[in-house]
Chains A and B, each alone.
Chain A
Amino acid sequence: MAEEAPECGTPSGRARFRVVLYLVLGLAAVDAAVAARSRVWRAYDPDEYREKPRACRSRANDLVIVGGSPVCEGLDTARLAGASWRGKTLETAYNLGLSGATTSEVWHAVAHGVGAPPRLLVYGITASDLNDGRDEPEGPRVLMTAGDVAVWLRLRPEAAEWCLRHYTRGRFNRAWSLFHFRNGIRLWAADCVERLRPGTCPEAAEEAREGLRYADALRRPDGYAPRPDFQAGSLVHMRAVGKVPERFPFLEKYRVGGHLRYLHRLLDWAEAGGVDVVLVDMPVSAELERRFEAAFATYRATLAEVERTRGVTVLRASRAAVGLDDEDFADLIHLNARGADRLSDWVRGHLSESREGTP
């Protein structure tokens, strides 16, 4: 189309592109400045998928506890440390539970977050961990390396595109610090503004303070960082105020296969490293089991098959066995503080019952 303006190559054309050059340089400078203060942003918006494996790897642990959010909330490392396993005390323990993790994430957390092999690995497993109907993006985005992606493509070709997409997205995020730390920057700014002028953005400032509290909790040497709202929550209260969600997507479209392969990888790794493994079938609320009867039947049959074929110890922490009722649950699947204490003591008791040479 006809254009009266001077073209590229002419002095005015080059002047126009100076704007683009300055923009690119400006964005690079901003990014460098943001990256230089990454600790500040991480303090406001901690990423447990990064922090926990890093902290776990930094020291040798006798006991490492892994699993999804039921483990984050329900297995208190302080109560489990000091338990004996095959006659010897487990002095140090770390809760490497990750919110939203499936068995695939659990495996990658172990692969990258456990340095020296522990004496015992406790995996608090539940039905949703093995559900191929769900894939959680944090694994490819944060935990996985290029090698892990290659293995995934081989083991789970049906989710290959999904894995590649999230892995690429994770890499891209990390390459652009402004984008990667955007939430931390927002919370830091809200906190600063709220300090200067209280009442300006109270919701965001509260979120910032919550982030700081959680970052502190993640720095605990035993990794147990339960969420305050779960600690104080009650399924009975939720039900009374009509807040029990109608859907529970983590168990929808239930099928087992892909994530199970990673459970076998985990057991292979343990066998090769001489690490004992105990699977704890985590307790869930009666309502959840009722809603997903078929899913739990499939899951328990799978667990029994793994127990039989791999000779792994399975502790069945049912509600009846542990002595839990709805008052011990914060919601359909997570235990509150009281429930976590009961389950942790129950697991500790069963671990201590083990003898030298017998699982």
Chain B
Amino acid sequence: MTFDSKAVFSFLAFLAVVLTAYYGLRGRASKYRMLLGASWLFYMVLSPSPLFLGVILFTTVVDYYAGLLIEAAPTPAAKRRWLWVSVASNLGFLGLFKYLKFVLRNVASVPGLGWETPAWVDHIVLPLGISFHTFQGISYTLDVSRGKIRAVRSFTDFALFVAFFPQLVAGPIVRAVEFLPQMGTPPRATSRQLVEGLHWFLIGLFKKGFLADRLAQYVDAVFHDPSAYDAVSQRWAVLAYAAQIYCDFSGYSDLAIGCAKWFGFELPRNFDFPYLAASITEFWKRWHISLSTWMRDYVYISLGGNRRGSLRTYFNLLLTLTLCGLWHGASWNYVLWGFYNGVLLALHRLYDQALGDRPWLANLRATAAFRLLAVLGTFALVAVGLVMVRAENWESCWRIERAWLGWDEGGATRWVPAWVPLLVGMVALGHAFSGLRERRCGVLDLPPLLRAAAYVAVVVLLVAFGPGATKAFIYFQF
């Protein structure tokens, strides 16, 4: 799916129809049935094939009954059995559609094995949003088995929790404990939600349709052939990619949060000005929060967390982050990116444990200068990881990493259009304006006239200066 004016207008028309029906219908059941039908329709239209609705239907049915059976199970062993049915069905589909091709190709590439990847493997297409809805299903059955939440009696309620269209294709990964309690009576949007919904919708469109897609034009060119550009251009491309991926993904989350507010639902915050993080540990508390907390609660803690000694803790960190990398994409660069982040987290933990309780360090950490250096250092390390994800091959990756870390091989063209620093600067300013204050979007606190002027500027920039044909959301591919 491309994110162009046609897509935006089609989505707005769809949204208008669904909102009208939602507020026009009477009775809980009819409202939720309509919303569920609209969500499934939305999924079918956006999917590479409408048949993929079968995948989400199957996992929904399995998770729904698994939840009921887990709750009714008389023994822990029986609970575990039904839990594994749910986890296996979700991970089975995820493995089949997302990782089978990767695994078979790697097996085929083992020298001396004499085995070739079957041709049908090339025809495997990833169902839209599978990484998100399967994780929602797993979190639900795990929460039921841990007694954190009661199993849902109504299939419609459960299916709507899984398929609620604003967050269906690219998150945030909503937990049952966050969403299901809101469904008791069909919520009506308050005045605050209506206006804040508009705010997040416009901000999300601006981030994705203007900032991310404009920056993509520069990033694509430089990353496609870094040898054609000098080190300065490559460094700007790294900065631009950091801004692009943040605006792309957080833009989608903002759109989802905004749309959900118009229905009266609150979705969890997914980004918290991540590039203001002063350590890698803090970064992962601010970046894709719904995934990082999911990995923490359901993988890291399930592996034992930090309860089984230092060595096991470091191993758990490395494994959790490597799996987190693999969740993003079935390729070695994502695995490396996850492992790299795991190493950084482990090193930070080591450093924290070795020096964390020294008073002089606490005093130093409290200074603005230290904080600034820590933020810049963290960003530099995060960017090293982002290059691994974005580079088109290992040679390009190595070349851009060297440029980012200060090597200058010279000789090639310098190409840094003025709008690149301008847009990167806008993202940095957005972080400073909002993130440094109360970690909430500063536009929300402006007087009404200024706030409306900011929205008008957003619409003008988006309409007149957004790229003509924009790109698909980066996170749709996960």
Contact = CB atoms under 8 A, between A and B. Distances in A.
A247 interface: no
Given A26-B453, A182-B463, A189-B465, A16 B418 contact: no
Interface stretch (A17-25, A112-120, A283-291): A17-25
A22 B448 contact: yes
Given A178-B464, A179-B463, A18 B191 contact: no
A185 interface: yes
Contacts of B448: 15, 18-19, 22
Nearest to A10: B191
Contact of B192 (A5, A27, A178): A5
A204 to B, nearest CB: 9
Interface stretch (B51-59, B80-88, B156-164, B454-462): B454-462
Contacts of B418: 197, 199-201
Interface string B193-223: 1110010000000000000000000000000
Contacts of B195: 16-17, 19-20
B76 interface: no
Contacts of B465: 186, 189
Contacts of A7: 190-191
B191 A5 contact: yes
Contacts of A20: 195, 198, 452
A20 to B, nearest CB: 6
Given A16-B195, A179-B463, A201-B419, A22 B264 contact: no
B192 A23 contact: no
A18 B191 CA distance: 11
B406 interface: no
B336 to A, nearest CB: 35
Nearest to B185: A1
A185 B198 contact: no
A55 B448 CA distance: 47
Nearest to A183: B468
Contacts of B460: 30, 178
Interface in A1-52: 1, 3, 5-8, 10, 12-13, 15-23, 25-27, 30
Contacts of A8: 190-191
Interface in B423-478: 448-449, 451-453, 455-456, 459-460, 463-465, 468
Contacts of B463: 178-179, 182
Nearest to A12: B191
A197 B418 CA distance: 9
A23 B455 contact: yes
Residue among B194, B266, B464, B465 with the highest chain A CB neighbour number at 10 A = B464
A27 B459 contact: yes
